[in-house]
């Protein structure tokens, strides 16, 4: 009998003779239940918008709105059912723009009026961009989007993901047309779209 | 005595660690990191989990599905695609010997008791980028013949449960889709992995590529060598393990002397190498062309084919493939061709030639929340052993040339409402087979129906199922009642990552056809003990893009067999280097 077989024999002996083995099995069972669901819940959390929220908030430091938009609360509007809404609401707690409070507000894509300084259009409402851009043309609203190619379709700043990192596509002429001005520091960090 | 204690205390300690750490993990994720101190420039440099886009692959259906990514696999220290599947919930993966696994989704496939090993064929559809890798002769997958390895993989998606209406007739118990990786940034692309460990295990794979504005090209190669943990074979007739036998006795009491021919290398578990070239051209956002081609060679000893003597057989496979996929606006079309030879048992006469051809085209019509996908597909598979077997002797595997063809028309509809919170998918498909048999119910008909093997060994799972059509309910004990896994990942420091993965299955009893042959209640039956397998992988990133790792497989050293009279699976240590540029 080689040592391996002795090992196996001891193991069987242990298994049949030891009361703790039941406990061991029970714990194994618990463990399996515990965990089988784990990878799946992880899979669902693939939309972390914290960085988006942070960057959108930083825009307020690099973009200059005209005097008419400089009174009352600073409104960040969100179009579409994006997780950004919840994330942004938490993010702006204890934060202000200058000394103005910030409000995060949801807008419907079919809305006629977008009373805000920054308007984020989520990916699933991307096709509404054209309509919203025409409707708000000339208004000092910074349109922010998150789908490829939208910087050419009326958006001011477009988030894209390159190499698993967020990048900004900035269309300066769209920002100028809306009577806002953008700091060169921000322009340098983004990808200029003409 | 010491081993007693070891056996008792270590698992308990680990489990307690596990549960407590898990709770800790949950708290940890609820703490919001807001990155307030970072500059905008730094913010734009943080790696983010990509916000999900509308998938262009088929797996957008509300089925029970899971995904594992290349990072999950690397962190867990998995050494192969097969091993990585243990990380997916709902998979039963039992290691037959070093690196060869028996893989099932949930256990819902046709594994009737008292069947020959050919009946182990699973009815799970395995695809690489939607190209079926399916052996129509056996109704299953020879995993070692996959031409790709971990360096080629972006993610693996698994759909559990019947999905034939959505993915075609072979998706009876589920679908495993392996999605290959593409360069993400312009310029040079390099991925290299090297791993070395116990039992002469060498796992090396690498890809080099170049990405330009609208196209990219990647060449990849992989090599694996693994030895068994033992050199003995289990002979069913004498019901014992024999090391370096002078002869074997078959099920019928016949003596076999051609040991060297049957088992030319008793120590070998797996040796395989393969190469691929991937070419992608994306002229515009809505148009893309992907061309893939490659070749593969493998020798393994697995429990996959019945030889009536011992569970293991030597399987030798050579194959090559071409796969072309084009997407133009809403239309996608894919044509693939796979051809090769396989020898699944001893003797030159047991070799056969095969070629499979798949073509399909689909149109995706999307209007608001509704999408409709009409599609057409054609599939043909030829299996031929007339070149290798003695025609007059009829001593080959099936002594014939058989062809199966399937022509299908399908229509899939999807309706999304409330921003994807409600999603309805309907699939309809009409399949015309060239070999219909009204006595088979459709999934069996779809699984394997080459007419070739009729008069020889019959690898059709429906026929291997000796209870088929008798109206008898049979309790299948060969699959575990409880099984599953867990992964905990810790970023110990910025550069050091610790990963522990566990896999557990409960007791099961395998009944082999020799149980019926001998009918003595001993031979052909094996009780497989419950087993907990714990793996620990530490990876350290000394310089950017390079990771050195040390993985311990089965740290509890639960050596017990995982499959009927296959090899012991003990503790194994591997060291590896991973480089990505």
pLDDT in tens, B432-482: 776 655 333 333 222 222 332 322 233 344 444 444 444 556 667 778 888
pLDDT-derived band of residue B203, with 50, 70 and 90 as boundaries?
A: very high
Local confidence band at B207 (pLDDT 50, 70, 90 cut-offs) = very high
Look at the pTM and tell me if it is higher than 0.90. Answer: no
What pLDDT sits at residue A12?
A: 59
Among the listed residues A177, A175, A178, the one whose alpha carbon sits nearest the alpha carbon of residue A186? A175
Q: Which of A66-70, B9-13, B60-64, B283-287 has the lowest mean pLDDT?
A: B9-13
**Sign of CA pseudo-dihedral A9, A10, A11, A15:** positive
Average pLDDT for chain B: 79
DSSP 3-state percent helix, strand, coil across chain B (nearest 5): 15, 45, 40
pLDDT of residue A15: 53
Give the least confident one: A124-138, B86-100, B341-355, B436-450.
B436-450
Residue of A nearest to B47 (CA): A165
Q: How far apart are CA B129 and CA B216, in angstroms?
A: 17
Q: Name the residue in chain A with its Cα closest to that of B534.
A: A28
- For residue B67, name the pLDDT band (cuts at 50, 70, 90): confident
pLDDT at B19: 39
- pLDDT of B241 reads 94
Region B307-333: mean pLDDT is: 92
Question: DSSP 3-state helix, strand, coil percentages of chain A (rounded to 5)?
Answer: 45, 20, 30
Kindly state the average pLDDT of the residues B79-108. 88
- Residue in chain B closest to A95 (alpha carbons) equals B36
Q: What is the mean pLDDT of chain A?
A: 80
A173 touches chain B (CB under 8 A): no
Which pLDDT does position B439 carry in this prediction? 33
CB pairs under 8 A between A and B: 144
* B529–A46 CB contact, under 8 Å: no
Interface check B33 vs A, CB under 8 A: yes
pLDDT tier at B7 (50, 70, 90 boundaries)?
A: very low
Give the one of A8, A39, A162 whose C-beta lies nearest to B89's C-beta.
Answer: A39
Residue pair B504/B532 in contact (Cβ under 8 Å)? The answer is yes
More confident residue, B63 or B413: B413
* pLDDT above 90 for B197: yes
Span of B14-28, B96-110, B312-326, B347-361 with lowest mean pLDDT? B14-28
**Average pLDDT in the B478-507 region?**
87
Q: Of the given ranges (A167-171, B264-268, B298-302, B407-411), which has the lowest mean pLDDT?
A: B407-411
Cβ atoms of A143 and A174 closer than 8 Å: yes
Half-sphere exposure of B548 (CA within 13 A, CB side): 3
Rounded to a whole number of angstroms, the distance from the CA of A191 to the nearest CA of chain B is: 12
Candidate from A167-171, B28-32, B198-202, B464-468 with smallest mean pLDDT: B28-32
Contact A161 B48 (CB under 8 A): yes
| Predicted local confidence at residue B111, as pLDDT | 65
Tell me whether 0.95 is exceeded by the ipTM: no
Confidence at residue A25, expressed as pLDDT on a 0 to 100 scale? 62
A164-174 mean pLDDT: 89
- Taking only the tens place, the pLDDT of each residue in B502-528 is 999 999 888 888 888 888 888 989 999
Nearest CA in chain A to B91: A36
Q: Does residue B11 register a pLDDT over 50?
A: no
What band does A81 get if pLDDT is binned at 50, 70 and 90? confident
- Report the residue of B24, B30, B38, B43 to disrupt the A interface, i.e. the one with the largest count of A CBs within 10 Å: B43
Residues of B in contact with A51 (CB under 8 A): 35, 43, 46, 48
Structure tokens at A107: 């807008």
Give CA–CA dist B247/B245, Å, rounded: 5
Residue B347 is predicted with a pLDDT of 67
Residue A28 phi, psi dihedral angles, 5° rounding: -60, -45
**pLDDT at A45 > cutoff 50:** no
Question: What pLDDT score does B195 carry?
Answer: 94
- Give A-chain residues touching B7 at CB under 8 angstroms: 11, 14
Own/partner pairs, B39-45, CB within 8 angstroms, 24+ separation: B40/A55, B40/A58, B40/A62, B40/A185, B40/A186, B40/A189, B41/A189, B43/A51, B43/A54, B43/A55, B43/A58, B43/A166, B44/A55, B44/A165, B44/A166, B44/A167, B44/A168, B44/A189, B45/A165
B8 reaches A (C-beta below 8 A): yes
Structure tokens at B510: 């395998």
Share of chain B above pLDDT 90, in %: 38
pLDDT (0 to 100) of residue B335: 95
- The answer on pLDDT for B279 being more than 90 is yes
Which of B485, B521, B512 minimizes the C-alpha distance to B94? Answer: B485
> In this predicted model, which residue has the larger pLDDT, A62 or B400?
A62
CB contact under 8 A, B46 and A163: no
Contact at 8 Å (CB) between B414 and B371? yes
Q: Provide the pLDDT confidence category of residue B115 given band limits of 50, 70 and 90.
A: confident
CA-based torsion, B68, B73, B74, B75: positive or negative: positive
CB A105 within 8 A of CB A77: yes
Least confident range from A9-18, B268-277, B359-368, B499-508: namely A9-18
Distance, in angstroms, between B355 CA and closest chain A CA?
37
Task: Supply the pLDDT for residue B213.
Answer: 80
Which range among A163-167, B27-31, B256-260, B371-375 shows the weakest confidence by mean pLDDT?
Answer: B27-31
Any CB–CB contact under 8 A between A167 and chain B? yes
Are A166 and B43 an interchain contact pair (Cβ–Cβ within 8 Å)?
yes
Query: What is the pLDDT, as a whole number, of residue B20?
Result: 35
Higher-pLDDT residue of B12 and B421 is B421
More confident: A70 or B194 = B194
Residue by residue, what is the 3-state secondary structure of B162-175?
A: CCHHHHCCCCCCEE
Residue B73: pLDDT band (50, 70, 90) is very high
Greater pLDDT, B468 or B232: B232
Would the CB atoms of A24 and B19 count as touching at under 8 Å?
Answer: no
Other CB atoms within 10 Å distance of the CB of residue A184: 9
CA atoms within a 13 Å half-sphere pointing along the CA-CB vector of A166: 26
């Amino acid at each position: 009998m080689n040592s391996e077989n002795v090992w196996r024999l001891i193991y069987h002996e242990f298994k049949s003779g030891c009361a703790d083995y039941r406990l061991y099995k029970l714990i194994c069972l618990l463990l399996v239940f515990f965990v089988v669901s784990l990878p799946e819940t992880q899979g669902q959390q693939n939309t972390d918008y914290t960085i988006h929220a942070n960057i959108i908030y930083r825009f307020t430091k690099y973009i200059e709105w005209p005097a008419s938009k400089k009174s009352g609360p600073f409104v960040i509007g969100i179009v579409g059912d994006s997780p950004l809404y919840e994330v942004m609401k938490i993010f702006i707690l204890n934060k202000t723009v200058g000394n103005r409070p910030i409000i995060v507000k949801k807008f419907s894509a079919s809305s006629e009026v977008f009373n805000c300084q920054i308007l984020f259009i989520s990916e699933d409402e991307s096709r509404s961009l054209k309509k919203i851009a025409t409707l708000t043309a000339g208004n000092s609203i910074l349109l922010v989007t998150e789908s490829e190619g939208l910087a050419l379709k009326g958006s001011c700043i477009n988030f894209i993901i390159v190499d698993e990192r967020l990048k900004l596509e900035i269309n300066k002429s769209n920002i100028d047309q809306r009577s806002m001005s953008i700091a060169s520091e921000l322009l340098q960090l983004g990808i200029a779209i003409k | 005595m010491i081993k007693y204690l070891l056996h008792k205390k270590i698992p308990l300690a680990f489990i307690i660690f596990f549960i407590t750490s898990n709770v800790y993990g949950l708290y940890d994720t609820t703490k919001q990191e807001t990155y307030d101190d970072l500059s905008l420039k730094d913010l734009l440099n943080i790696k983010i989990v990509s916000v999900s886009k509308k998938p262009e692959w088929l797996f957008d259906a509300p089925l029970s599905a899971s995904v594992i990514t290349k990072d999950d696999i690397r962190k867990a220290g998995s050494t192969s695609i097969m091993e990585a599947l243990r990380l997916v919930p709902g998979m039963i993966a039992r290691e037959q010997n070093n690196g060869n696994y028996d893989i099932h989704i949930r256990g819902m496939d046709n594994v009737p008791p008292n069947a020959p090993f050919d009946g182990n064929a699973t009815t799970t559809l395995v695809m690489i980028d939607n190209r079926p890798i399916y052996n129509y002769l056996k109704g299953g997958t020879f995993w070692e013949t996959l031409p790709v390895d971990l360096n080629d993989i972006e993610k693996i998606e698994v759909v559990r449960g019947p999905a034939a209406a959505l993915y075609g007739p072979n998706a009876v118990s589920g679908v495993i889709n392996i999605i290959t990786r593409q360069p993400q940034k312009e310029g040079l692309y390099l991925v290299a992995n090297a791993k070395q460990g116990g039992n002469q295990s060498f796992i090396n794979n690498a890809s080099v590529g170049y990405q330009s504005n609208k196209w990219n090209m990647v060449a990849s190669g992989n090599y694996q060598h693994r030895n068994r943990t033992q050199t003995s074979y289990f002979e069913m007739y004498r019901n014992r393990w024999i090391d370096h036998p002078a002869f074997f006795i078959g099920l019928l009491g016949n003596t076999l002397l051609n040991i060297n021919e049957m088992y030319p290398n008793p120590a070998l578990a797996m040796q395989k190498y393969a190469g691929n070239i991937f070419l992608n051209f994306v002229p515009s956002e809505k148009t893309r062309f992907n061309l893939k081609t490659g070749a593969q060679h493998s020798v393994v000893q697995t429990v996959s084919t019945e030889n009536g003597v011992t569970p293991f057989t030597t399987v030798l496979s050579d194959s090559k493939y071409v796969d072309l996929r084009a997407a133009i606006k809403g239309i996608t079309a894919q044509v693939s061709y796979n051809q090769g030879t396989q020898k699944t048992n001893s003797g030159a006469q047991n070799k056969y030639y095969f070629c499979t051809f798949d073509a399909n085209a689909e149109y995706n019509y999307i209007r608001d929340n509704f999408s409709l996908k009409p599609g057409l597909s054609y599939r043909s598979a030829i299996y031929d052993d007339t070149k290798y077997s003695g025609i007059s002797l009829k001593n080959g595997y099936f002594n014939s040339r058989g062809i199966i063809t399937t022509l299908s028309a399908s229509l899939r509809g999807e309706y999304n409402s409330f921003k994807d919170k409600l999603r309805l998918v309907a699939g309809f498909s009409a399949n015309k087979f060239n070999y219909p048999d009204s006595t088979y119910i459709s999934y069996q008909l779809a699984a394997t129906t080459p007419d070739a093997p009729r008069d020889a060994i019959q690898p059709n799972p429906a026929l291997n199922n000796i209870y088929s059509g008798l109206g008898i309910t049979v309790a299948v004990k060969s699959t575990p009642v409880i099984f599953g896994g867990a992964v905990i990942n810790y970023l110990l420091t910025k550069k050091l990552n610790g990963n522990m993965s566990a896999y557990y299955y409960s007791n099961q009893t395998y009944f082999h056809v020799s149980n019926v042959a001998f009918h003595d209640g001993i031979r052909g039956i094996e009780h497989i003990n419950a087993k907990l397998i714990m793996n620990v992988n530490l990876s350290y990133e000394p310089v950017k893009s390079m990771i050195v790792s040390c993985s311990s497989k089965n740290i509890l050293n639960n050596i017990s067999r995982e499959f009927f009279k296959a090899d012991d699976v003990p503790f194994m240590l591997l060291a590896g280097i991973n480089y990505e540029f």
